[in-house]
Amino acid sequence: MRAKRAFRIESYGQPMQALPHAGGGGTGSHSEIISELRELKALIRPAEEVSRQMIEAYRGEMQEAMKLKAELDQIWQAIDKTKHEIATLHVTGFKGKEMSRVTHELDAIVDGTEEATEGILAAAEGIDQIASQLAAKLKSSQDRGAVDDIQQRIVTIFEHCNFQDLTGQRITKVVNTLKFIEERIMRMMDIWGGLESFKDIPVDTIVAAEGDAALLNGPKIDGEGGHATQDDIDALFN
> What are the helix (H) ranges across the chain?
28-43, 47-88, 97-137, 141-160, 163-191, 230-236
**How far is 216 from 214, CA to CA, in rounded Å?**
6
Share the mean pLDDT of the chain: 75
Structure confidence by residue, pLDDT tens digits, 83-135: 887 777 766 665 556 666 777 788 888 888 888 999 999 999 999 999 988 88
- Terminal Cα-to-Cα distance of the chain (whole angstroms): 167
Residue 216 maps to a domain: no
Residue 232 maps to a domain: no
Residue 39 maps to a domain: no
Residue 126 maps to a domain: yes
**How far is 131 from 137, CA to CA, in rounded Å?**
10
**How far is 147 from 30, CA to CA, in rounded Å?**
134
Residue 33 maps to a domain: no
Structure confidence by residue, pLDDT tens digits, 155-179: 999 988 888 888 888 888 888 888 8
Show the domain range for 134: 86-206
Residue 37 maps to a domain: no
Residue 167 maps to a domain: yes
Residue 31 maps to a domain: no
Q: Which helix (H) or strand (E) holds 205?
A: none
Asked if 89 and 204 touch (Cβ cutoff 8 Å), the reply is no
Total domains in the chain come to 1
